[in-house]
Amino acid sequence: MVGKIKLKIGNSVIVKSSVLDPDLGTDISGWQGRISEIDLENNLICIDWDSITLKSIPEEVISGFEEEGLDWKQIYLQPTDVELTQPKDTKKDVAAIIDEIEAKLSSTTNTRNPFKVCR
């Protein structure tokens, strides 16, 4: 049990209204995912975003996370920032959308010059 609500690894949770990303200050109200870690010492939970949330994150926000060296696939929050909910997807859905987003990221950051000679 974490905080006043019973949270366990694997639980689906949704971020409460007016909660901001602690690193970038982005409003993450309504974002949803699954608890993948519970850090009792620091009173934090790690949430792996679900596929629906990942699809809804604007590219510029993902780019901001990338530029800051932060992981856009998950977040650490306090247990009081979330509430239990029902899952809306599967872990397989999450893996598929992560692959899709990472492919987009690599294609936009890979600005290879076709005329450059390899040594």
Mean pLDDT by runs of 10 across the 119 residues of the chain is 73 98 91 97 96 93 87 96 97 96 79 38
Residue 1 is assigned to a structural domain of this protein: no
Residue 36 is assigned to a structural domain of this protein: yes
Write down the pLDDT at residue 110: 54
Domain that residue 100 falls in = 12-109
Residue 57 is assigned to a structural domain of this protein: yes
Write down the pLDDT at residue 60: 86
Residue 119 is assigned to a structural domain of this protein: no
Write down the pLDDT at residue 95: 97
How many structural domains does the chain have?
Answer: 1
Nearest to 81 by CA among 35, 117, 24: 35
